[in-house]
Amino acid sequence: MSIRYDQKARTYTLMTKNSAYQMKVTGFDYLLHLYYGERIPDTDLSYLLCPTDRGFSPNPNEAGNDRTFSLDVLPQEFSSDGSCDYRLSSIEVKNGDGSFAFVGKVRKHRIYRGKNKLEGLPCLRALEDDTVDSLDIWLTDAVTGLTVILSYSVFEEKDIITRSARVVNEGEDTVYLNRIMSMTIDFLDSDYDFIHLDGRHTMEREVTRAPLSYGIQTIGSFRGASSHQHNPFAILCDHTATEDYGRCYGFSFVYSGNFVCKAEKDQYDQTRVIMGIHPKHFSYQLKAGESFTAPEVVMAYSGQGLTRLSHLYHRIYRENLCQSPFVRKARPVVINSWEAAYFDFDDEKLLHIAREAVDMGVDTFVLDDGWFGSRDSDCSALGDWIVNPQKLKSGLEGLSQRIHELGLNFGLWIEPEMVSENSSLYRAHPDWCLQIPRRPAARGRYQLVLDLSRQDVCDYIVQSINEILDRTRIEYVKWDMNRFITDAWSAIAEKEKQGEIYHRYVLGLYHIMDRIILTHPDILFCGCSGGGGRFDPGMLYYQPEIWCSDNTDAVCRLKIQYGTSFAYPCSCVEAHVSVCPNHQTGRITPLETRGVVAMGGILGYELDSTQLSDGEKKLCRRQIESYKRWYGLIADGDYYRLTDPYRFGEYVAWQHVSQDKTRALLSLVVTEKESNNAQRYVRARGLDAKRFYHVSGFPEVFSGQLLMSAGLPVPGSLLQYEAIQYEIWSADTEKEEAPSGCATMP
Ligand code: GLA
């Protein structure tokens, strides 16, 4: 078992292959956190606690005259509110008597093989060959009967520990749960940097790294979705941590709605990190016997820097999260109609684009927004999922058939969670959207949000979308969500339950995804929210890939994909080649470079193929051929960041390395060119030092050690925004035929 309870010491020790985690039950039955870090022998680590009388840090009543026992100082596993701890609390309740206290004492525990599902929520699952053990610890408040069950699952080989919490009202009074964190973790020191991924629409997941300072550092979202602004992912690492050195802790929240992650450096230079549903506007009614399940946090520890931490997340999210069979299949190369036609198309125009795309070698034609109701702009028709016969004269089925006759698969855009005021749906059911009485709802992109906390609304969505999917031959669906939530009030919920709406919306979303996505395992669903506004593990449970950003500029994408790579594998990053000047930035970059950057994820195209020259189409075809040949490397290989675009401006480089280290693809884009530049070298990573490798464009054979230590010279002939790709293959394996023209070769 990877989880052990030592009855004498009253310690729980969780062991993964390379990490250990220990908790301890104190004399008064509080649960303390003793350690998370490098794997160490399973011994009682209580010696780390140095009881000290700390002035102005209160002592619980049962400690009697012992002034050294204070929950304001001791490291805790779950901080009980109102019981002497002034730091961030894990829970806030309003009890039947109006008090806010919750004092959770360990009542019992259970250790078992395997991992339970979380009710109504996405979470990791154990595969057949995974060794996964789980632990539940019951913390009960003796006065109110309220119980929090902390759950841990240990993925031993994969170096991952998951946490979640369930609150059960075992008392008689109704209580209100105003905050419940899925994870609280205390560190006895505070010499850490806090790294998080933040940004904005069209510039998501930029990397911010700063040392902790006294007080609280917060990231989060109360936009109703995980958001472009902050990703539900954070890292705590040594100040000295680099890509391959130092202690790093990752926290990733498997949830798609409001979230918060806070790191507090306290008065004694200790650190507390919490992660969970954002408490703003959250108040969950729990009557006697009722319970609430908080979503899962996936924790990882690496003692060898950030790359290893990323690899732990990449592996677990590739293998243990997504339910779709497509997660293990090679994904199609799509051409998407959005930047080619926006709302202005009919079936002939679409077929023309598709026909030309056949020459490029794409697999799937995706019809984006504008095909339904009176949708000629973004002002109308969301909710009316009926084809517009003026645009598509032979209907969706007819278009799909003609697309298939060209040898392409057919994909469709939907945005099921929304409604336009100018729509038949809104006119029939104005109460189906989130809206507060006497306060007309705020608009976002002219649209309102459907109330997914309502079963009848969910049923409508499921029925109308499934009807399209069942009637039409469709192989791919892009599921979009183009505004965030405001006015979170439901017309049918009682007033005491309005504080549940944000969360119930997310549960409703997962519920409709269960009924639409999981019932169509033959369709590849791809997520989107104005690009990466909902790029989170909750969505990746349903959709193996997500449109990474509405920004298709290759140079901006270098940063966006760099940041994304800290938590998410390339196999879930949708990246498309678009035209130049780029529609978002006006920048002009070579088509070769756009292809190289898009191959940092799941390659696709987002352009009007009828406007491409024959030469450009040929180039796209070669890009697609190369990409398909390298697909295994890109989707399943280990990803290495070779540069930090925030520190070094001249070029950005990255590398995909096969698991057996026999093949690699090193890609580089020049981002800032001056005249007569210094000679630069790019050093490979992740190769086998002892093995010998060929490198495309070089006659000699190099040892892995050499490629990783001395590196390769970056050709001085490369101009601004030009790219190069080096294919690297072990000297004792045969290289398949080399691609040509995909990127500049020296
Ligand atoms: C969002 C998406 C785009 C496109 C439009 C359509 O902005 O991110 O890719 O689908 O909606 O309205």
Of the residues 347, 363, 369, 480, only one is catalytic, namely 480
Q: Whose CA is nearest to atom 3 of ligand 1?
A: 530
Q: Whose CA is nearest to atom 6 of ligand 1?
A: 369
Q: Are 328 and 470 in contact (CB under 8 A)?
A: no
Pocket mutation for ligand 1, best pick of 550, 551, 606 (most atoms within 8 Å of C-beta): 550
pLDDT of 736 reads 54
Task: Characterize 634-647 residue by residue with b for buried, 16 or more Cβ atoms within 10 angstroms of its Cβ, and e for exposed.
Answer: bbbbbbbbbbebee
pLDDT of 395 reads 97
pLDDT of 741 reads 35
The predicted-structure confidence for 716-725, as pLDDT tens digits, reads as follows 999 999 999 9
Q: Are 558 and 243 in contact (CB under 8 A)?
A: no
User: CB-based burial of residue 196 (10 Å sphere; 0-12 exposed, 13-18 middle, 19+ buried)?
Assistant: buried
Distance from the alpha carbon of residue 480 to the mean position of ligand 1, in angstroms: 7
Q: CA-to-CA distance for 519 and 164, rounded, in angstroms?
A: 27
Q: CA-to-CA distance for 596 and 550, rounded, in angstroms?
A: 18
Distance from the alpha carbon of residue 338 to the mean position of ligand 1, in angstroms: 7
Is the pLDDT confidence value at 738 over 70? no
Atom of ligand 1 nearest to the CA of 606: 9
Q: Whose CA is nearest to atom 4 of ligand 1?
A: 338
Q: Whose CA is nearest to atom 11 of ligand 1?
A: 530
Distance from the alpha carbon of residue 413 to the mean position of ligand 1, in angstroms: 9
Q: Are 697 and 726 in contact (CB under 8 A)?
A: yes
Is the pLDDT confidence value at 636 over 90? yes
- What tokens were used for 674? 């001056």
Instruction: Tell me whether residue 480 is one of the annotated catalytic residues.
Output: yes
Pocket mutation for ligand 1, best pick of 338, 476, 547, 548 (most atoms within 8 Å of C-beta): 338
Beta-bridge partner residues of 412:
367, 477
The predicted-structure confidence for 337-370, as pLDDT tens digits, reads as follows 999 999 999 999 999 999 999 999 999 999 999 9
Lowest mean pLDDT among 29-43, 69-83, 499-513: 69-83
Is the pLDDT confidence value at 332 over 60? yes
Q: CA-to-CA distance for 520 and 537, rounded, in angstroms?
A: 20
pLDDT mean over 68-92:
92
Is the pLDDT confidence value at 151 over 90? yes
Q: Whose CA is nearest to atom 1 of ligand 1?
A: 530
User: Where residue 745 falls among pLDDT bands split at 50, 70, 90?
Assistant: very low
The predicted-structure confidence for 403-412, as pLDDT tens digits, reads as follows 999 999 999 9
Dihedral, 174, 179, 183, 188 alpha carbons, nearest 10: -110
User: Where residue 733 falls among pLDDT bands split at 50, 70, 90?
Assistant: confident
Of 441, 437, 439, 438, nearest to 426 (Cα)?
Answer: 441
pLDDT mean over 538-548:
98
The predicted-structure confidence for 229-275, as pLDDT tens digits, reads as follows 999 999 999 999 999 999 999 999 999 999 999 999 999 999 999 99
- DSSP string across 329-370: SPPPPEEESHHHHTT---HHHHHHHHHHHHHHT-SEEEE-S-
Is the pLDDT confidence value at 129 over 80? yes
Of 572, 455, 571, nearest to 515 (Cα)?
Answer: 455
Of the residues 550, 553, 636, 638, only one is catalytic, namely 550
Distance from the alpha carbon of residue 369 to the mean position of ligand 1, in angstroms: 7
Pocket mutation for ligand 1, best pick of 375, 412, 478, 528 (most atoms within 8 Å of C-beta): 528
Pocket mutation for ligand 1, best pick of 366, 369, 377, 418 (most atoms within 8 Å of C-beta): 369
Is the pLDDT confidence value at 737 over 50? no
Atom of ligand 1 nearest to the CA of 550: 8
Is the pLDDT confidence value at 500 over 80? yes
Atom of ligand 1 nearest to the CA of 478: 10
Q: Whose CA is nearest to atom 2 of ligand 1?
A: 530
pLDDT mean over 118-146:
97
pLDDT of 734 reads 64
User: Where residue 735 falls among pLDDT bands split at 50, 70, 90?
Assistant: low
Lowest mean pLDDT among 583-592, 700-709, 728-737: 728-737
Atom of ligand 1 nearest to the CA of 531: 8
pLDDT mean over 159-172:
98
Pocket mutation for ligand 1, best pick of 377, 379, 412, 413 (most atoms within 8 Å of C-beta): 413
Distance from the alpha carbon of residue 526 to the mean position of ligand 1, in angstroms: 12
Distance from the alpha carbon of residue 548 to the mean position of ligand 1, in angstroms: 11
pLDDT mean over 459-478:
98
Q: Whose CA is nearest to atom 12 of ligand 1?
A: 369
Q: Whose CA is nearest to atom 7 of ligand 1?
A: 530
pLDDT of 744 reads 37
Measured in whole angstroms, the distance separating CA 512 from the mean position of its chain's CA atoms is: 20
Distance from the alpha carbon of residue 197 to the mean position of ligand 1, in angstroms: 22
Atom of ligand 1 nearest to the CA of 368: 10
pLDDT mean over 20-28:
96
Atom of ligand 1 nearest to the CA of 413: 10
Measured in whole angstroms, the distance separating CA 261 from the mean position of its chain's CA atoms is: 14
Pocket mutation for ligand 1, best pick of 482, 548, 576, 584 (most atoms within 8 Å of C-beta): 482
Phi, psi of 266 (to 5 degrees): -95, -175
Distance from the alpha carbon of residue 478 to the mean position of ligand 1, in angstroms: 9
Is the pLDDT confidence value at 743 over 80? no
Q: Give the dihedral sign, CA 319/321/325/327.
A: negative
Distance from the alpha carbon of residue 632 to the mean position of ligand 1, in angstroms: 28
User: Where residue 81 falls among pLDDT bands split at 50, 70, 90?
Assistant: confident
Distance from the alpha carbon of residue 479 to the mean position of ligand 1, in angstroms: 10
- DSSP string across 405-470: HTT-EEEEEE-TTEEESBSHHHHH-GGGB--BTTBPPPPBTTEEEB-TTSHHHHHHHHHHHHHHHH
Q: Assign residue 711 a region: left if phi > 0, alpha if psi is -120 to 50, beta otherwise? A: left
Residues with CB under 6 A from ligand 1: 338, 368-369, 378, 413, 480, 482, 528, 530-531, 547, 550
Mean pLDDT (the chain) is: 96
Q: CA-to-CA distance for 483 and 290, rounded, in angstroms?
A: 32
Distance from the alpha carbon of residue 543 to the mean position of ligand 1, in angstroms: 17
Task: Characterize 476-496 residue by residue with b for buried, 16 or more Cβ atoms within 10 angstroms of its Cβ, and e for exposed.
Answer: bbbbbbbbbbbbbbbbebeee
Distance from the alpha carbon of residue 530 to the mean position of ligand 1, in angstroms: 5
